[in-house]
Amino acid sequence: MKILHCSDLHLESAYNAGDREKNKLLKNEALEFFAYLVKFAKQNEVEAVLICGDLFDKTSARKSAIKYIFQLVQDVENITFYYIYGNHDAKLNLDIAKKPENFQIIGDQFMRFDLDENISIGGISLTKQNVESFYNEIDFDKKRFNIFMLHADTAPGSHDPSEFSNVDIRYLKNKNINYLALGHIHKRSEGALDERGIYCNSGNCGNYGFGEETERGFVLMNIKNGKVEVTRQFMPQKRKFVTLSIDISKFQNEKVLENTIDRVLNSQNKDSFMRIKFVGYFEESFDKRIEYLTEKYKEEFFYFEIVDESKMKIDLEQIKKEKLSLKNEYLSMVFSCDELSDSQKEAVAYAGIQALRGEDINL
């Protein structure tokens, strides 16, 4: 039996692409991620699709989007979809009365579905009320191949009773689980759960923002004779979030910096979300021309921005030698403060000099 395991599509995400029309376009494009999953499942004779939380990004979604998702599911009536809520869509009203029969919503109590070939699918949507007790609800027949769906961070030391998306994976051992299907953490991971089973985090399927430049994807499970083969599948993407860091310490003048940006951007997909990040240290006389560069490149890409994390070079020792200097007076006051540690004094001194020079404070 083939089963598709996915999570974290974050449909209807509130993109910040600069204008309303682009945001609407992105929301509609994101729906095609789900359409691709359905098409893949149909072409590969998948019998069940596990959606391990955060199908939607918020507790509200356009009725047209929900209708579109339900229509896609209804069109493949021989495939059953099993869905648990995540922390983002925990209170989403999916209009259960209109959902297709092959779309099973698993609520805040443990549910189990016994399929053919001695395979069972179970799961629970976590809440603040059940996060401490749900372990005791898990009920699987040890003679079957059991899949348990959960939307949670199970990394060692992540357990926090105040956050219903954090659980202690140790309490899931010896529960007759063969495959722990996880969502929530957007990076793919897998490993041994106990002597019987494994855990697998499918990673996120949809675009979510900068800081997540890894490939999107899902997992295909192939279960035969009580054994599972897991293969990673990648999601085709029209747009990617790309961050390129440029150390401006290396540039002697502004034109060389601009030529370098020209060169690195030349090979990038124009449909991308593009971010240039300035890092390193610059001389006081160096003009980064962020507004000029942003205007120059923003029309070349679907979205473009420059994030400045660079710092002005400040020679604190040299400033201390200056006479009749406001900066010198400031440093004397800071370094004579007994309530601050040496590292704190240096950080406060640096921030103050930045302010006195008219720079944004960047610690």
pLDDT in tens, 208-262: 667 665 678 899 999 999 999 999 999 888 888 889 999 998 888 888 999 999 9
Tell whether 324 and 298 lie within a shared domain.
no
pLDDT band at 304 (very low <50, low <70, confident <90, very high): very high
| pLDDT of 363 above 60 | no
Tell whether 268 and 201 lie within a shared domain.
no
- What strands lie across the sheet with 80-84, from one edge to the other? 103-106, 80-84, 48-52, 2-6, 217-224, 227-234
Residue ending a domain, choose from 234, 265, 287: 234
Tell whether 273 and 331 lie within a shared domain.
no
pLDDT band at 62 (very low <50, low <70, confident <90, very high): confident
Joined tokens for residue 196: 């019987």
Asked if residue 226 belongs to a domain, the reply is yes
DSSP state of 359: P
pLDDT (tens digit per residue) in 260-275: 999 999 999 998 889 9
pTM: 0.81
Asked if residue 161 belongs to a domain, the reply is yes
CA distance 362 to 311: 7
> Which among 351, 356, 347, 348 is positioned nearest to 322, based on CA atoms?
356
Beta-sheet strands, E only, within the chain = 2-6, 48-52, 80-84, 103-106, 111-114, 119-123, 145-151, 179-183, 189-192, 198-201, 217-224, 227-234, 241-247, 273-279, 281-282, 303-308, 311-312
**How many independent structural domains does the chain possess?**
3
pLDDT (tens digit per residue) in 88-140: 888 787 766 678 999 999 999 999 999 987 999 999 999 888 888 899 999 99
Supply the pLDDT for residue 265.
94
Asked if residue 185 belongs to a domain, the reply is yes
CATH number of the structural domain spanning residue 154: 3.60.21.10
Specify the residue for token string 């009725």.
63
Q: Quick one: CA torsion of 143, 145, 149, 152, rounded to 10 degrees?
A: 80
Residue ending a domain, choose from 234, 250, 279: 234
Tell whether 250 and 142 lie within a shared domain.
no
Average pLDDT, the chain: 86
Q: Which whole number is the average pLDDT over 278-307?
A: 89
Tell whether 102 and 127 lie within a shared domain.
yes
- Residue 192's domain comprises 2-234
Asked if residue 363 belongs to a domain, the reply is no
Specify the residue for token string 């004579």.
336
Asked if residue 136 belongs to a domain, the reply is yes
pLDDT band at 17 (very low <50, low <70, confident <90, very high): low
Tell whether 138 and 249 lie within a shared domain.
no
Supply the pLDDT for residue 277.
94
Q: Give the rounded distance of the alpha carbon of 35 from its chain centre.
A: 20
Residue ending a domain, choose from 234, 264, 297: 234
Specify the residue for token string 């961050």.
243
Tell whether 17 and 156 lie within a shared domain.
yes
Tell whether 140 and 280 lie within a shared domain.
no
User: CB–CB of 1/47 below 8 Å?
Assistant: yes
Tell whether 290 and 142 lie within a shared domain.
no
Tell whether 122 and 22 lie within a shared domain.
yes
pLDDT (tens digit per residue) in 126-143: 988 888 889 999 999 999
Asked if residue 200 belongs to a domain, the reply is yes
